[in-house]
Structure formats: structure tokens, C-alpha cells
């Protein structure tokens, strides 16, 4: 094979293959995940072309019929992108032309691959966010259920990894549940960017054809469109980066939960336990029960937290307009959803089988967790807080501190008042903001035959 660095005449065919291998990369494999969205976008586009009389009614019927056939093959897993075809857009247009001749060639009127891929990624993102919302809600429900089930069981609370104050498993589980509600607020913000239609922006400067962009917006179930065609293209990368931030927020919650579980499983803590089937052993140490699943969740989620910075580094010095740099973002962005989804599902699986230790704080080594309770008791009896603080501090220093008896926390969000119903209401409210039903109804209508 001719090498690029060799002296003498270059073989043009081999050079073209080398360039194609570098520029296409893994794009074909990634495009398979976008294929059905490319078809949905094409169906909406052709319906619009018929509406503005750029294709005839008969051509419209023929193209839609073949596009739905391709969609069905994709859904069955029978679709592939030929090694001689550059991307999914070209493959679908080739299949149409193969079936319909010149009629199939009309599908690209008023479009560019720039707005095609941007549309595909937005449709893909909307769908993947829907799946993540459902997965997150399942994990949320598990956390709330565990919080209620174990709310009477106390747990050491730590600051600086030092003993601090009494906590409870009720607080611990519900803390992660509420964290997920905030994560979904960020995800909803990202969703609003994905839920704007870029189709019709073409290469980033619109078209002299009489396109009806509001029609495709309606057909594809978008809330609105990216009006300015230059900004529609500028939105590529921005939308992915914003969504990546939202994914990284969920990932951060899972990573912290995973770290807690690894710590609390440790024999020096022994707060929680998992069945042997959900842990792994050692090849040399027969006593080991390693938290491999939690460790992999932690690692994968930490990696996902780098994705926004990775995307941003590609976007940093790009001017307006389309640039091939944006292709580099696509692969890691597309697979990030399944990576995060698998972590959510495995975290939920682990928590469904968690065992919680009782009476942890009965151990004398946790006695100092109750110093604040002692201070608060003196305050309730009328002593100034600072005097009570000094008094209890002196008792600890002299070795005379005695753990107080009963104590109660009554304010909102405390051990004795978890406010889980309020947290559930927050979750229900944020999920209700996602217009998934409207979108799915619109997309389903596109693929109805006849």
C-alpha cells in the first residue's frame, strides 16, 4: 500500500481511501443509532415539500411509502449502512433512488446534510431524554420507598469524614431522591433546547425554496423552531453541551451514591450489605466481597462528568457556520445516554437488594455524635447557646460526656419529618413539564401506513 509519506507519485485511489477512513471514522456505526430519526425527519420534510407543491401528490405517496418501509426495517434491526456510502443520510437517499428513480432524488430539495444531522441528533436527544426520565423516576421511587422503610434506623452523619451528628437511613435515601429532582430540572432545560426544530436552515443560510418550517415543526412534535437559520446551525454543539451538563448532573448524583455505598459496605463501617451475587470475590483472599458494580458506576459516571468539558473544548474557537469539528462530538455524545441509563438501572438493581444494619448508633464509639443534642437540650432548658456549647465541650474534654436519652427533630426535612410526600410532588411536577405524549403522538402519526 502506498504510504502518504513515501517519495514519488501517490496513488489517487489509495489516497482517497485514506482520507475517507480518517474523515468518516466511526460515523457509520453512530449513524445507525440515528437512522430512524433521519427517516422521521425525511417523512416530515417530504410532507412539507408536497404542501408547498415541490413534489406532486403521487410522488409524495411513493416517497412516504418507501420511507415507512425503511423505517420498519430499521425497527426490525435489518437496516445497515453500506461501506460505500458515507452516512445514513446518503444511504436512505440511495435506497429511495434505487426504488423510485428520479423521484427519490427529490427528497433533498431545500435540505443540507447540516440541518439533517442536526435534526437527527435533536430527535434522538428528545427520545433518549424520555428514556432517562423514566429510568430516573424508577430509581427515585426505589429511594423514596427505602427512605420510608428505614426511616427509624439511625446512621452516623459525617462532615470532613469525621463523626458529626446523628442521621438516618431515611434521610440518606431521600437525599439522593431529592437530588434527582434537581437533576431533572437541568435535564428539562436541556430538553427545551432539543425541542426546537432546525429543519429548513439547510447549510446554515436557509433556502430560496418556499419551505414551510412551521409545518415540519408541527409534524415532528416540536414546541417551536430555531428561527434564525445561522443560529440553528450554531445550536449544534451548544445543545449537546447543555444536555451533557444535565447528564453529568445525574451522573454526579449516582457517583456520590456509589461512593457512599462503597464506603458503607467497608468492614470498618458495615452499615449496609448486599447479596453475594451482587458482589465479587478475590482470586487470593477468600473473605472478600468487592463492590465492583458500585465502583463501575462511580467510574462510568465520573467519566460522564467530563463530557461537557470535552464538548466545550471542541467548540471553543469555532466561528459561526458549520465545521467538520462537530462530527467529533457526535460519537461520545450519542453513547453517553446508554452509558448513563445502564448506570441508573444497575444502581436501582443494587438498591432493591440492599440490607440495612440496625442499632448502629448503640455502639459506644458513636457517642460523640450526640454532643449537639446535648447542647440543644441545655438551650431548651434556657441556657444561652454559646454557654451550652462550652459546657458540653468541657464535658467531652474531661471525658465526662454522657449521651442524652431521647431526642427529636421536627422541622421540615429532618430525621423526624422527612417530607417525602413533598419531594414526590416536586418530582411529579418536573416530569409533567416534559411533553412526551404530544411528541410520541406526532411521530407515530408520521409512520402510519395508508
Summarize pLDDT for 33-84 with one digit per residue, the tens: 999 999 999 999 999 999 999 999 999 999 999 999 999 999 999 999 888 8
Q: For position 3, what pLDDT does the model report?
A: 43
As assigned by CATH, the class of the 23-108 domain is: mainly alpha
Q: Could you tell me how far CA 378 lies from the centroid of its own chain?
A: 48
Rounded average pLDDT over 242-257: 98
Of 192, 185, 308, 303, the closest CA to residue 241 belongs to 308
pLDDT at 24 exceeding the cut of 60: no
The CATH 1.10.275.10 portion of the chain extends over 23-108
Q: How far is CA 30 from the centre of its chain?
A: 17
Average pLDDT over residues 398-407: 87
**H/E element, 167:** strand 162-168
Average pLDDT over residues 309-328: 91
d(CA 40, CA 75): 12
The grid coordinates of residue 134 equal 423514566
C-alpha span between 212 and 115 (Å, rounded): 15
Cβ atoms of 336 and 304 closer than 8 Å: yes
Which of 128, 349, 361 is closest to 243 using CA atoms? 128
pLDDT at position 287 over 80? no
Q: What is the pLDDT of residue 85?
A: 83
- What average pLDDT does range 280-304 have in this prediction? 87
- Identify the residue with better confidence: 32 or 9: 32
pLDDT band at 22 (very low <50, low <70, confident <90, very high): low
Cβ neighbourhood burial of 172 (10 Å; 0-12, 13-18, 19+): buried
Check residue 286 and give its pLDDT: 66
The beta-strand segments (E) located in 1-114 are none
- Tens digit of each residue's pLDDT (9 = 90 or more) over 127-142: 999 999 999 999 999 9
Alpha-carbon gap, residue 170 to 33, rounded angstroms: 40
* Banded model confidence at residue 4, pLDDT cuts 50, 70, 90: very low
Residue of 20 and 141 predicted with greater confidence: 141
What residues contact residue 264 under an 8 Å CB cut-off, 6+ apart?
Answer: 270, 271, 272
Would the pLDDT of 125 be above 90? yes
Q: Is the pLDDT of residue 8 over 70?
A: no
Answer whether residue 372 shows pLDDT above 50. Answer: yes
Where in the chain is CATH 1.20.200.10?
113-150+169-209+230-362+421-446
Identify any residues that bridge with 406 across adjacent strands, giving them in sequence order. none
Contact predicate 248/339, CB 8 Å = no
* Average pLDDT of span 382-411: 91
Model confidence band, residue 23 (pLDDT cutoffs 50, 70, 90)? low
pTM, to two decimals: 0.92
Residue 324: pLDDT over 50: yes
In this structure, of 21-25, 150-154, 279-283, 395-399, the range with the lowest mean pLDDT score is: 21-25
Reading the block at residue 100, the C-alpha cell is 423510485
Parallel, antiparallel, or unpaired: how do β-strands 224-225 and 196-197 relate? parallel
Distance CA(397)–CA(402), nearest Å, equals 12
Mean pLDDT across the chain, nearest whole number? 92
- Residues 257-264, mean pLDDT to the nearest whole number: 98
- CATH of 113-150+169-209+230-362+421-446, picked from 1.10.150.120, 3.40.50.720, 1.25.40.10, 1.20.200.10, is 1.20.200.10
Band the pLDDT of 420: cuts 50, 70, 90. very high
Q: Residue 357 has what DSSP assignment?
A: -
Residue 366 has pLDDT above 80, yes or no: yes
Instruction: Give Cβ neighbours of residue 415 (< 8 Å, ≥ 6 apart).
Output: 151, 154, 166, 167, 168, 170, 171, 409
Instruction: Enumerate residues 6+ apart whose C-beta is below 8 A from 226.
Output: 196, 197, 198, 201, 232, 235
At residue 1, the pLDDT reads 40
* pLDDT computed for residue 82 by the predictor: 87
- DSSP per-residue letters across 173-240: HHHHHHHHHHHHHHHHHHHHHHTEE-TT-TTTT--SS---HHHHHHHTT-SEE--SHHHHHHHHHHHH
> What pLDDT, on the 0 to 100 scale, is given for residue 2?
40
Amino acid at each position: 500500500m502506498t504510504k502518504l509519506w513515501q517519495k514519488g507519485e501517490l496513488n489517487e485511489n489509495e489516497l482517497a481511501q485514506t482520507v475517507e477512513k480518517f474523515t468518516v471514522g466511526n460515523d457509520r456505526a453512530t449513524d445507525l443509532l440515528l437512522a430512524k430519526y433521519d427517516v422521521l425527519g425525511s417523512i416530515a420534510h417530504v410532507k412539507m415539500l408536497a404542501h408547498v407543491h415541490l413534489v406532486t401528490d403521487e410522488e409524495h405517496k411513493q416517497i412516504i411509502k418507501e420511507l415507512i418501509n425503511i423505517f420498519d426495517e430499521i425497527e426490525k434491526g435489518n437496516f445497515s449502512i453500506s461501506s460505500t456510502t458515507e452516512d445514513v443520510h446518503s444511504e436512505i437517499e440511495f435506497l429511495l433512488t434505487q426504488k423510485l428513480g428520479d423521484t427519490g432524488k427529490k427528497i433533498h430539495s431545500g435540505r443540507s446534510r447540516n440541518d439533517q444531522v442536526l435534526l437527527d441528533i435533536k430527535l434522538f436527544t428528545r427520545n433518549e431524554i424520555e428514556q432517562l426520565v423514566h429510568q430516573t423516576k424508577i430509581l427515585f421511587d426505589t429511594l423514596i420507598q427505602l427512605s420510608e422503610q428505614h426511616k427509624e434506623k439511625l446512621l452516623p452523619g459525617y462532615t470532613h469524614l469525621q463523626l458529626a451528628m446523628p442521621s438516618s437511613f431515611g434521610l440518606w435515601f431521600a437525599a439522593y431522591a431529592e437530588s434527582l429532582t434537581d437533576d431533572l430540572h437541568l435535564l428539562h432545560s436541556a430538553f427545551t433546547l432539543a425541542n426546537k426544530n432546525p429543519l429548513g436552515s439547510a447549510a446554515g443560510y436557509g433556502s430560496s425554496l418556499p419551505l414551510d418550517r412551521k409545518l415540519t415543526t408541527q409534524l415532528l412534535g416540536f414546541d417551536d423552531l430555531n428561527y434564525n437559520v445561522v443560529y440553528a446551525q450554531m445550536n449544534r454543539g451548544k445543545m449537546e453541551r447543555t444536555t451533557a451538563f444535565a447528564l453529568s448532573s445525574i451522573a454526579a448524583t449516582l457517583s456520590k451514591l456509589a461512593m457512599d455505598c462503597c464506603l458503607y459496605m467497608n468492614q470498618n463501617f458495615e452499615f449496609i450489605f448486599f447479596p453475594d451475587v451482587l458482589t465479587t470475590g478475590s482470586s487470593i483472599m477468600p473473605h472478600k466481597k468487592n463492590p465492583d458494580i458500585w465502583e463501575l458506576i462511580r467510574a462510568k459516571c465520573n467519566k460522564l462528568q467530563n463530557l461537557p468539558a470535552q464538548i466545550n473544548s471542541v467548540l471553543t474557537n469555532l466561528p459561526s457556520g458549520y465545521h467538520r469539528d462537530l462530527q467529533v462530538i457526535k460519537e461520545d455524545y450519542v453513547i453517553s445516554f446508554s452509558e448513563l441509563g445502564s448506570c441508573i438501572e444497575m444502581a436501582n438493581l443494587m438498591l432493591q437488594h440492599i440490607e440495612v444494619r440496625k442499632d448502629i448508633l448503640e455502639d459506644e464509639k458513636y457517642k460523640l455524635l450526640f454532643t449537639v443534642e446535648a447542647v440543644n437540650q441545655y438551650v431548651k432548658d434556657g441556657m444561652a447557646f454559646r454557654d451550652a456549647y462550652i459546657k458540653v465541650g468541657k464535658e467531652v474534654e474531661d471525658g465526662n460526656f454522657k449521651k442524652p436519652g431521647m431526642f427529636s427533630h421536627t422541622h421540615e426535612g429532618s430525621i423526624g419529618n422527612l417530607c417525602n410526600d413533598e419531594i414526590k410532588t416536586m418530582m411529579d411536577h418536573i416530569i409533567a413539564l416534559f411533553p412526551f405524549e404530544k411528541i410520541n403522538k406526532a411521530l407515530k402519526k408520521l409512520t402510519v401506513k395508508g
